[in-house]
Structure 1
Amino acid sequence: MILVTGAGGNVGSELTGILTRDGHPVRALVRTPRPLPDGVEGVAGDLNEPASLKPALAGVRAVFLLGGYDDLPGALAVMRDEGVEQVTLLSSRSVVGGHSGNAVAGMHRAAEASVRASELAWTFLRASGFMSNTLRWIPGLRAGDVVREPFAEVPVATIDPYDIAAVAAESLTTPGHEGRAYALTGPEALLPADRLRVLGELLGRDLRLEPLPDTEGEFDDSEVTSTVQDLTGQAPRPFATWARTHLAAFR
């Protein structure tokens, strides 16, 4: 049994789909009852309350884990005590090159440190910026054809959450990934204006980017890696594919 935390999120929802498609038993950790895909068992629990995890961990061998919780060491201790053998943690490339004062990078560094100290076998998925972050543009696009975005001159090798999930599935179901930290990116580094151009072409709209001031230095998230293809055998999806799949959300 594989337990997926954040099963309703961008990566977790894709991961539950991949695992069930491939015939793996999947359980979703949920705070409250919610509809789940066929074949996915939902069990209540809260990572902020480690003792509440015990029912969800019955028979679980591996966990897909998100960071940022109040007592992650406590949650990991419960997982270990309940017989979990392996954890795949969704992390960020910012743990390596991120600004020392950046709260997001600090959260991911703390999560990695907690997992390392847990004595569980671990894999870290250090992902680039998500293509799904583009959904933040929807309110602006409902109001007009201008998108306001900081770091307008910063290229990012954004990645489709599906590709992160595909690597997560590999790490959770095949051997040889223990103690590995994988840097995951999409196939190319794009500026916000590049993504907006692709989206505008698909929507048939003349969209324009208006840069906002940069509030702090950004780490270099432009390097493209081959990790997704190396591990899954499939090239990572380009932004146009992600945008086409989610186009209805922008109409």
Structure 2
Amino acid sequence: MVTGASGTVGREVVARLVPLASVRLLTRSPACLAPPAPGVEVVVGDFSDPVRLATAFAGVRAVFVVTADPLRPDHDANIIDVALACGVRHVVKLSALAVADPAADDLITRWQRANEERLLASGLDWTLLRPRAFMSNTLAWAGQIRESGVVRGLGRDGRNSCVDPRDIAQVAVRALTRTGHEGKTYALTGPQGLSPADQVAEISAVLGREIRFEEVSQDQARQALLVRYPAPVADALMESARRTAAGAKSGIESGVAEVLGRPAGTFRQWAEDHRHAFTGGQAVLPGGALGNRVGPV
């Protein structure tokens, strides 16, 4: 079973799982999913409703778990309780690499740490995926790039070793369908640390036209976050941005190569493959390690 199947990583997981296994998708909103492939089962459920979760989990061997709300720790607790009751054997959990940094103590990171600790104490077989920021987060800039050629954001020079969501998905599928990944934690990054200015330059090169990055103030950035998120989540994301500016997220990890036997994909390749999002049509706002709400920190 795949949760978060309409999100950035979840939909990539589904695409890769379909040829390999019987797949069930858990969703609150079936209309948000693309039409499922033949043989893919869609069930409606909610992490806050253990009764419906139990129906969804019946007969499931392994589950890919993405939870979305750091203000609802009961969601992960319900998933684990129901998985145990229904005989699920293996949980592959999407977390965040900030969990491994003792200096990271924002709300979102504390929530992910608690989720991991709960899973490790459950008695279930587990695999933890800890990515850095998704390369696809830059899709949020697509409208600005198309309309003005200017990206306005925070932290011009703060480097993050962002990772291609397709790499995360491929690692998840290996863990779900092959033995030997139980009890493993994989730190997933791209091959280099890139700042927002670096990413803008890469997109500019791909599109063959000038795009500029324009720094906004801390207050402007927080106000923009408050449009989408509750204040505690917005403040956690601002703290995450401060850690990025201090260089806490630029390190390169080997998890992708360890599992897949090849280097992690580059941002340039990701941008080439998603050129259309920056040139026309409607950009899809990215999800992340917290589902469709915010990306990993």
TM-score (norm 1): 0.92
- Which digits, 9 at most, give the CA deviation of each residue in 1:189-247, with x for residues without a partner? 11111111111122222001112345442151111122211211232211111112211
Which secondary structure state, in structure 1, belongs to the residue aligned with residue 18 of structure 2? Answer: helix
The residue that corresponds to 2:274 in the other structure is 246
Supply the distance in 1 between the matched residues of 2:271 and 2:208 (Cα, whole angstroms): 13
Question: Offset at 1:79?
Answer: 1.0
1:67 positional shift = 3.0
Q: Which runs of 5+ in 2 are unaligned?
A: 219-237, 280-297
Q: Would the aligned equivalents of 1:152 and 1:211 in 2 still touch at CA under 8 Å?
A: yes
Does the residue aligned with 2:143 lie in a helix, a strand or coil? helix
Deviates more, 1:53-62 or 1:84-93: 53-62
Say whether 1:218 aligns with 2:256: no
Distance 1:142 1:158 in 2: 23
Gapped regions of structure 1 (runs ≥ 5): none
Q: Which residue of 1 aligns with 2:61?
A: 61
2:276 maps to amino acid: A
Tell me which residue corresponds to 1:29.
26
Distance 1:50 1:156 in 2: 37
Q: Partner of 2:5 in structure 1?
A: 7
Preserved contact between residue 129 and residue 156 of structure 1 (Cα < 8 Å)? yes
1:205–1:38 distance in 2 versus 1, CA, 3 Å: farther
Cα pair distance change 1:110/1:68, threshold 3 Å? farther
Q: CA deviation at 1:96?
A: 1.7
CA 1:107–1:211 in structure 2 vs 1: closer, same or farther (change >3 Å)?
A: same
CA distance in 2, matches of 1:156, 1:100: 15
Amino acid at match of 2:61: R
CA–CA distance in structure 1, aligned partners of residues 52 and 263 of structure 2:
39
Structure 2 counterpart of 1:41, one-letter code: E
Distance in 2 between the 1:100 and 1:195 partners? 24
Q: Supply the distance in 2 between the matched residues of 1:156 and 1:213 (Cα, whole angstroms).
A: 20
1:82-161 aligned within 5 A: 82-97=86-101, 99-161=103-165
Give me the whole-angstrom Cα distance separating, in 2, the residues matched to 1:130 and 1:203: 20
CA pair 156-100 structure 1, distance change in 2 beyond 3 A: closer
Q: Contact 1:67 / 1:107 at 8 angstroms: preserved in 2?
A: no
Matches of 1:100 and 1:230, distance apart in 2? 25
Aligned length, in residue pairs: 248
The structure with the largest strand share of the pair is 1
Query: TM-score, with normalisation over the residues of structure 2?
Result: 0.79
| Conserved? CA contact 2:98–2:104, under 8 Å | no
- Alignment of 1:47 with 2:47, yes or no, is yes
Which amino acid letter does the alignment assign opposite residue 243 of structure 1?
A
Cα pair 1:186 1:236 within 8 Å, conserved? yes
Secondary structure of the equivalent of 2:60? coil
Matched to 1:5, the amino acid is: T
Q: Distance in 1 between matches of 2:251 and 2:11?
A: 27
Picking from 177, 189, 199, the partner of 1:173 is 177
- Residues 136/98 of structure 1: CA separation in 2 closer, same or farther (3 Å cut): farther
C-alpha separation in 1, matches of 2:134 and 2:121: 28
Specify the SS of the correspondent of 1:218.
helix
The question of whether the paired residues in 2 share the 8 Å contact of 1:68 and 1:108 is answered with no
